[in-house]
Structure 1
Amino acid sequence: MISLKQGSSFWLSGCLLLLCLVFSNLVLAESPLRLGENFPYHVLPDPAGQYSLDQAHTLLLDQEKTVSSIQRDGFARGYTHTVYWLKTELPAAAFNGKDGWLEVGPNFADDIRLYLRPENSQQDWTLLETGDLQSGRGDLDYRNPVFVLPPPPVEANHYELIVRLQSASSMLFFANLWSPEAFMNASSRATAFWSFYFGLAGLSSLLALLLAILLRTRLLWSATALTSGYLLVACVQGYISWLFPATHIPWQHYATSFFSLTSFAVLIWMSSETLDLRHKLPWVYRGLNICSLLILLLTPLIFVDAYALAVSIKVVIFLGAVAAFFASIPYLWIRHSYDLRELGLALVPAICIIGSLFGVFSVFGWIAFSNDVYVIWQYLLIFNMLFVMLVGVYRIRKTHFEEIEKQRLTQSLQVEREASFHQRQFLGMVGHEFRTPLAVISGTLENLVALEPETDHPRITRYQKIQRATDRLNQLTDNCLADARLSADNLYVDLQPVNFIELVFSATSLVHLSDTHRLSILFQGKPLPASIPHCKVNADAALLRIAISNILDNAVKYSIGGTITLELDCQSTTEVCLQVSDQGAGVETELDSETIFERYRRGQVTKQGAGLGLFVARQIVRAHQGELQLVSSSAQGSCFAITLPKNNNKHGADNFNDE
């Protein structure tokens, strides 16, 4: 089965190939004789629009005496209210004794008047009128105005042709002189090409709309909005005025201006979406969207005869947006390591932008105007549309695979969590089941020791070894139960007023000291007095006893011998502090003050224990809204500190901050 990506690629490739074939046939068609290229001309500006035909003719004849005034390129003067007069000659040789078909444009020019008469003739000028504000459409029913001209009289070598141009749109003019056969061939090819073009444009727009509705991505919505560009092409190619002739409302006059502005706005928006600037460079994305919005806000100027001002502002905004767009490309390439294929597809709108810039520059006369150059962006528009859809499909496919990977990761994480839960549940169950046999062993050992008549009998030593092993198992069981309890979602800490100093004494009784260890308990920096002082805290005595005994047991395991000092400080009115110091080798350099509190973390000095002691201790302390920290560590020993609030009245899971 063909995938979405493969199907889209085949469809796009086929369309592009067919488009190239049709376009190549169009280019190979017979070319006409063109104004400027074949018919040099002179130009007369008329800022006030006050010259009559005779005045303009006289002034243009004066210009003919100056060779430097001859124009041999396309005519383009940007956006201006100035009226222009052009004078050229149509030689008899161009007609070959047959009628010539004169095609003029562009379609969106407001008022084009052609004055024609044979050379040195005293007869009146023949007036030919067209334009999107005029009713004249030429002598043929065609999308561009075409006038049928008989060959010049035998006594005349050429026609004199004077053109008066006036337009609120771009000041452009072209004139092509065809033989009837060549025009029919070229127009047939052009009609086939533009029929295919707009058919493909309609299909691609419909597909983009369907994909945008189904996939709901901004990129595809921007591609759908690019339909305004196709409507602009329809206006430029004369299809609007041809299909909907102006009666009371000059549809093409307003449509051309409107879609010209909206197309540039959409192109900026789509360019920002193709580079995914919304996520990669949000501030540039917002800036480009503001540029698009500002261009759209210029559209009301069309209806107050200020289109020239709107276009001037549009060009400034568009050039700024283009500069920001192209400046973003190297940044994204370096900063975000764009995939080469994705970046290549995303840069396709840049080609359309460059084509649009050529069109703008040629309209303003900044580069030599050529009708072929002017329509480059019209051809690039559909390429851009198709490739942007390819970008959209590619990103959807990529996002789909990322979602699948996320689901797999989520499932793996869920399996791991369930395994961890079952593991802790098993350890808790085993620890609970160990309590009874361990209690039996401990009780039996006490009875065996009591039955011995001699206190120094060798069996006493063996009993003590068994007792120490039993105590170790008891401690491990308590840690497993505490870990399971702390990991439960419904943790409940039973806080009751207890004497913290008595609790510390109780915890020390759970720790076995070797012959090389000595325990020292200080209170407020002094030896503990005979009568135990009062230092009340709210605590779960069973849990807190496990935490303190774990810290003491850790000090014994990681020090060969020496004094283990417990220093209590109850002077503060808000908290109590217990510091446990040993004379061991200190924490390994590869372990920091947080790593040593991780679950199942063990030091390298000894492999005893399961690595739960310090982890369980910290979790218990934090469940009491306190903190357990490694205060210091060196080759002379380590110091751990427990800090607990004196007035902790909260219960339950709120007191537990799992790491």
Structure 2
Amino acid sequence: MLVLALWLFMPLGAQAQRPLLLAADTPNVSGTGALSLFQDGSGETDPGRILAEAPWQPLPGELGVGYTPDTLWLKLVVVRDKSAPAEWVLNLGNALVDDVELFRQAPGGGWERSRAGENLDRAAWPLDARNAAFPLILPAGEAVTLLIRITSRNAISSAVDVWQRDAFDSFSRREMLYYGLYFGCYLLLIVLHIFFWRMTKEAQSGWYLLYVALAITIQMLTAGIPQWIFRIPGSISDLVLACSICLALIVGTKFAVLQLELASVWPRFSTAFIGTVTLLGLLFMGLVLKVGYAEGVVPAQLLSLLLVVLMTGLSVYLLLRGHRPARFFLFAFGIYYVGIGISFLRNLSVFPSNVWTVNAASLGTLIHILAMSMRLHARYDLLRRQAAEAQERAMRAVRKLNEGLEEEVAVRTADLEHEIERRKLLENELRTALETERRIKEEQRSFVAMVSHEFRTPLAIINVTAQQIALNPGAPWDEVVGRCQNLRSTVRRMSDLVDNCLASDRMDMDMPVFSPRPCNLPELLGELVQEWPEGRIEADWQGVPEGFFCDPGLVKVALRNLLANADRHAPQDETVSLRATAGADGGVRVEICNGGSPIPAEEVPRLFLKYFRGRLSQHRPGAGLGLHLVRQIAEIHDGSVWLEHGGESDRIQFSFSMPVRGLASATP
């Protein structure tokens, strides 16, 4: 079908040579149907001999002989109509011809010669044009024979046209504008994909950039634009073109395999396939560098045609098996393969050279590149969406995991806080127990020291007094009475000490025995005062209620200790003052004052501690329980005891207060 379509578009020129008529209304005339061809293997350069002796063969279409070492001669007879302008241009459509010579018979005999082509410096070309072009001044109505001698290491396929000079100049300008726009779009596409590749860092984008760069390089060199603009000699441009074709074979195969996703179906075959094509492409490039242009490019183009057939067959097979990438591959690469195949077959002279075969590769490549660009952007967008969805799923999983971890951490934290609280309680209990143990040990040491001193001394006094009475039975009565009074005083001292110890133990119990009942405070105070010598205690308790609720035994111990403490520290020639009053709220306040040395300020905070004895009490009898016991008794009565004055500026005064207690509060 492809061959049939191409032959349908072939121009139907005459089989015999005919003159080419140049009229005023035709800006350009194609040489198709008017050209004759002679393929000279000897390299003859004599145009007269060639014109006379060569076996000319008419060309039915455009020139197309492919790669050949022969010298080609074209004969063209032109006739200018009298109404047509005299200035014309002969133009060859192939920009890669190495050497082109135009011969024209001179009016006086001989031949006029003009030369162009890639082997010649472009400054020496007859016209500054992309292709080999020759200016003509033609006489009106006369037949002019033109001989064109062509040699090239590239494929020789070209159209031969004759243009009016003004039309040719205008066409050249438009052609360069079209080429500028065409290759400008390619360059813009490359720039955009460079940014796209730098942004995505994806392998397919990198291969696509290389793929497009080689494609545009091949098309620009084939069109002769870099050679024309930068004055690149043919030896260099042909070498670059040949190497680009070989590299394009490798890169195109790699990119096609990636687009077909062949590795996902046949991974080993895919690797071996790419490796084989790479080795062959490098081999062909070596042939170009070491042997010649055609020796490397021709097998590379033939291999390209083979790969087109192979990749097309693989994609059809995979499409039938349900491989989704094969569908797009057949569309995008199919168009490209058709265009490249037509171009290669035209270079090999399988297809004739005309407007369709000349531009088939460019059109196919453009459509292919645009389709691949849209494909890559769509693929990247799909990958981006898939990545976003995967990231969202990962974020949900992480959030769920974090919630689970937070719950677990909260549970563990609560357990840890509970354990910390339990350990704090245990620590407090242990600290309390240690403190209690320390206090008990301290109290035990103090108690032992107190007993060893306070009990030994009275017992020693009793023992000595009893010995004196026993050794002197006939002693005077006054002396005996004095010794008996000494015994009674010592026994009372021991009794008070025992009472204080028992009362202290009673108060230290977890549930101290507290028995409040109506008490006659005036009577209780009177009994206390009588325990001291007459005149030692100066008492005043007027207004004290008789039916006050309290524990009489404990109150008596507290007040006795306050009086005994005042008696020990007061000078013998001074009295101890006791004053009891009833408060406005019905409570009772007792104030006990005595003279003596002031209490040191540093000892005031420790006065009510158990077994504490100040510096002034070290040489006086006492157990260090009195004031401690007074405070406990006051607290159990919801009262208090405190040092009112320490003796610095006034007498020493302790105050003891108890609030009123009703029947409802008689039990602690």
Aligned counterpart, 2:48 = 54
Structure with the greater alpha carbon radius of gyration: 2
Aligned counterpart, 1:276 = 261
Query: Shift in Å at residue 360 of structure 1?
Result: 0.5
Aligned counterpart, 2:226 = 240
CA deviation map 1:77-121 (0-9, x unaligned): 111212222212122239824211111242211111111227xx6
Aligned counterpart, 1:85 = 73
Aligned counterpart, 1:380 = 364
**Residues 1:150 and 2:137 aligned together:** yes
Query: Kindly tell me: are residues 159 and 355 of structure 1, through their superposed partners in 2, closer, same or farther at Cα, counting changes over 3 Å?
Result: same
The 2-side partners of 1:265 and 1:297 are apart by 11
Structure number with greater CO (CA < 8 Å, separation at least 6) is 1
Amino acid corresponding to residue 79 of structure 1 in structure 2 = Y
Query: Shift in Å at residue 214 of structure 1?
Result: 2.1
Aligned counterpart, 1:329 = 315
Query: Shift in Å at residue 221 of structure 1?
Result: 1.7
The 2-side partners of 1:266 and 1:90 are apart by 47
Aligned counterpart, 2:37 = 43
CA deviation map 1:369-421 (0-9, x unaligned): 22542222123323322321221111111112222333344455567778999
1:32 to 4, 28, 31: 28
Amino acid corresponding to residue 31 of structure 2 in structure 1 = L
Aligned counterpart, 1:393 = 377
The 1-side partners of 2:86 and 2:275 are apart by 56
TM-score (normalised: structure 1): 0.53
**Residues 1:108 and 2:96 aligned together:** yes
* Partner-residue secondary structure (3-state), 2:307: helix
The 2-side partners of 1:384 and 1:188 are apart by 27
The 1-side partners of 2:344 and 2:169 are apart by 31
Query: Kindly tell me: are residues 265 and 182 of structure 1, through their superposed partners in 2, closer, same or farther at Cα, counting changes over 3 Å?
Result: farther
Amino acid corresponding to residue 81 of structure 1 in structure 2 = P
**Residues 1:221 and 2:219 aligned together:** no
1:290 to 273, 276, 299: 276
Query: Shift in Å at residue 317 of structure 1?
Result: 1.7
The 1-side partners of 2:53 and 2:267 are apart by 58
Amino acid corresponding to residue 117 of structure 1 in structure 2 = Q
* Partner-residue secondary structure (3-state), 1:262: helix
**Residues 1:186 and 2:180 aligned together:** no
* Partner-residue secondary structure (3-state), 2:377: helix
The 2-side partners of 1:95 and 1:297 are apart by 58
**Residues 1:370 and 2:354 aligned together:** yes
Amino acid corresponding to residue 126 of structure 2 in structure 1 = D
* Partner-residue secondary structure (3-state), 2:159: strand
Aligned counterpart, 2:292 = 306
The 2-side partners of 1:149 and 1:255 are apart by 34
User: How does 1:365-444 map onto structure 2 within 5 Å?
Assistant: 365-411=349-395
Structure 2 spans left out of the alignment, 5+ residues: 1-25, 413-668
* Partner-residue secondary structure (3-state), 1:133: coil
Query: Kindly tell me: are residues 124 and 95 of structure 1, through their superposed partners in 2, closer, same or farther at Cα, counting changes over 3 Å?
Result: farther
The 2-side partners of 1:200 and 1:316 are apart by 30
Give yes or no for contact 1:218–1:273 (8 Å, CA) kept in 2: no
Give yes or no for contact 1:108–1:256 (8 Å, CA) kept in 2: no
Give yes or no for contact 2:239–2:293 (8 Å, CA) kept in 1: no
The 2-side partners of 1:149 and 1:236 are apart by 26
Give yes or no for contact 2:103–2:148 (8 Å, CA) kept in 1: yes
Amino acid corresponding to residue 374 of structure 1 in structure 2 = V
* Partner-residue secondary structure (3-state), 1:298: helix
Query: Shift in Å at residue 189 of structure 1?
Result: 2.0
Q: Superposition RMSD on alpha carbons, in Å?
A: 3.4
User: How does 1:159-174 map onto structure 2 within 5 Å?
Assistant: 159-174=144-159
The 1-side partners of 2:230 and 2:392 are apart by 58
Identical residues among aligned pairs (%): 16
Amino acid corresponding to residue 103 of structure 2 in structure 1 = Y
Amino acid corresponding to residue 294 of structure 1 in structure 2 = L
Query: Kindly tell me: are residues 246 and 201 of structure 1, through their superposed partners in 2, closer, same or farther at Cα, counting changes over 3 Å?
Result: closer
Structure 1 spans left out of the alignment, 5+ residues: 1-29, 64-68, 429-659
Query: Kindly tell me: are residues 421 and 221 of structure 1, through their superposed partners in 2, closer, same or farther at Cα, counting changes over 3 Å?
Result: closer
Query: Kindly tell me: are residues 125 and 256 of structure 1, through their superposed partners in 2, closer, same or farther at Cα, counting changes over 3 Å?
Result: farther
Query: Kindly tell me: are residues 241 and 404 of structure 1, through their superposed partners in 2, closer, same or farther at Cα, counting changes over 3 Å?
Result: closer
CA deviation map 1:529-574 (0-9, x unaligned): xxxxxxxxxxxxxxxxxxxxxxxxxxxxxxxxxxxxxxxxxxxxxx
* Partner-residue secondary structure (3-state), 1:160: strand
Give yes or no for contact 1:81–1:168 (8 Å, CA) kept in 2: yes
The 1-side partners of 2:179 and 2:82 are apart by 28
Give yes or no for contact 1:262–1:295 (8 Å, CA) kept in 2: yes
Give yes or no for contact 2:116–2:133 (8 Å, CA) kept in 1: no
Give yes or no for contact 2:245–2:300 (8 Å, CA) kept in 1: no
Greater Cα offset, 49-58 or 313-322 = 49-58
Number of aligned residue pairs: give it.
Answer: 386
Aligned counterpart, 1:75 = 63
Greater Cα offset, 354-363 or 222-231 = 222-231
Greater Cα offset, 312-321 or 290-299 = 290-299
Q: Which 4+ residue blocks in structure 1 deviate beyond 6 angstroms?
A: 415-428
Query: Shift in Å at residue 254 of structure 1?
Result: 2.5
